[in-house]
């Protein structure tokens, strides 16, 4: 259409020129030749412009069909893998005191919640029989000591026989031992606090018959608590004394940091685990013995490795891959980077092979991609934390 209009314009000009009587025939021919030349040059420019327009329209259409993605360059970072193990709070001063001798419970001096000091009397057991035996032995011992003293004086003067001296000595020493035994038995009828703490439970009742090993009073001291857990034997050698750990208290939704203080050298035959103990630091929330905790133990660490969000890793018939952006023919296209993976922790996976430092990994829009898809980056992230 543009060519036709231009041709009509030029033709009109030529005719107008021909109608003029002042111009000669040769002059008119020269004019026609000049206009034809100009028309040719204009046609050439029109074709060039039309070609450029077609090219630009193609690029624009390609861009309009490009998938928008967000990428981040691969950078090495620190990676740690941890396991969660269920444990509990324990106390070295959480004991159930029991009787070491039999007898009727005569007095219970404490109740639940009482605070006691070391040595305080908690429970007394009837000891009348023992006291009577002690009194009898003391009387007999007084006589035996008197007899032994006199027999010793006679023996020094060579009066009497040696056997009389030895019998008197043996009698006295035997009664002394009996008295010591009875006094020890008497002390066992008084249950005392072995350490300072609070009374958590009282099972003893006045008039009840106490038997050796029978639990009477439970005392707890929360100043000597620790954390313990059983770990599967497959982690033997992964943890050692001094290792850093995190402990989560689900009931109060609090987390603390502490360290391992002991690792057992024995495997439990029943559940194939070994025990580890962790220090219980002072905290600003309530913690009680036997409280359940979740312990995070680090079993694998690499100071410099490639890590990506686990959700970016896809799979097909050829294995695992993720999408990266590459330059091809002055265009950015999506490509599958075939990878081998290591451990996964907290939503991130270590890449052992298949990525190089600086590769542009697609973070957003990867689910819309196929191999060779033209892409356009919305914003290139440089934050290593995203990988």
- The per-residue pLDDT for range 84-99, each reduced to its tens digit, is 999 999 988 888 999 8
pLDDT at 205 over 50: yes
The pLDDT of residue 101: 87
**What is the DSSP code (8-state) at residue 208?**
P
* C-alpha distance from residue 81 to each of 75, 345, 346 (Å): 19, 5, 8
177 confidence band (pLDDT: 50, 70, 90): very high
Token pair of 212, please?
Answer: 């050796």
Phi, psi (deg, nearest 5) at residue 6: -65, -40
pLDDT at 257 over 90: yes
Express the helix, strand and coil content of the chain in percent, nearest 5 each.
35, 40, 30
Average pLDDT over residues 269-295: 93
- Gap between the Cα atoms of 127 and 140, Å rounded: 20
The pLDDT of residue 29: 80
Neighbours of 67 (CB within 10 A): 16
Find the range with the poorest average confidence among 15-19, 83-87, 141-145, 256-260. Answer: 15-19
């Amino acid at each position: 259409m543009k060519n036709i209009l231009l041709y009509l314009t030029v033709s009109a000009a030529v005719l107008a020129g021909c109608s003029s009587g002042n111009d000669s025939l040769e002059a008119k021919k020269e004019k026609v030749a000049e206009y034809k030349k100009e028309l040719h040059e204009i046609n050439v420019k029109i074709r060039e412009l039309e070609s450029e327009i077609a090219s630009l329209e193609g690029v624009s259409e390609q861009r309009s069909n490009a998938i928008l993605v967000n990428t981040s360059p691969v950078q090495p970072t620190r990676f740690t893998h941890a396991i969660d193990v269920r444990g509990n709070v324990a106390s070295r001063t959480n004991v159930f005191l029991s009787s070491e001798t039999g007898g009727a419970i005569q007095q219970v001096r404490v109740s639940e919640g009482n605070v006691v000091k070391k040595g305080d009397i908690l429970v007394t057991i009837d000891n009348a029989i023992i006291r009577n035996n002690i009194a009898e032995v003391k009387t007999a011992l007084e006589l035996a000591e008197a007899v032994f003293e006199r027999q010793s004086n006679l023996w020094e003067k060579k009066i009497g026989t040696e056997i009389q001296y030895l019998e008197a000595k043996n009698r006295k020493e035997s009664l002394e031992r009996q008295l010591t035994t009875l006094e020890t038995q008497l002390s066992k009828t008084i249950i005392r606090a072995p350490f300072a703490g609070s009374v958590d439970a009282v099972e003893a009742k006045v008039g009840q018959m106490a038997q050796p090993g029978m639990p009477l009073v439970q005392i707890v001291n929360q100043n000597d608590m620790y954390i313990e857990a059983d770990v599967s034997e497959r982690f033997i050698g992964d943890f050692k004394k001094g290792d850093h750990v995190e402990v989560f208290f689900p009931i109060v939704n609090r987390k603390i940091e502490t360290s391992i203080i002991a690792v057992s050298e024995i495997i439990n035959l029943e559940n194939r685990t070994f025990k580890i103990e962790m220090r219980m630091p002072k905290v600003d929330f309530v913690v009680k013995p036997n409280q359940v905790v979740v312990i995070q133990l680090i079993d694998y660490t690499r100071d410099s490795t490639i890590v990506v969000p686990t959700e970016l890793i896809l799979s097909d018939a050829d294995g695992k891959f993720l999408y990266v952006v590459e330059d091809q023919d002055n265009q950015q296209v999506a490509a599958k980077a075939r990878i081998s993976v290591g451990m996964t922790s907290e939503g991130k996976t270590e890449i052992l092979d298949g990525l190089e430092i600086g590769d542009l990994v697609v973070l957003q829009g990867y689910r819309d991609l196929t191999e060779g898809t033209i892409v356009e980056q919305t914003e290139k992230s440089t934050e290593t934390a995203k990988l």
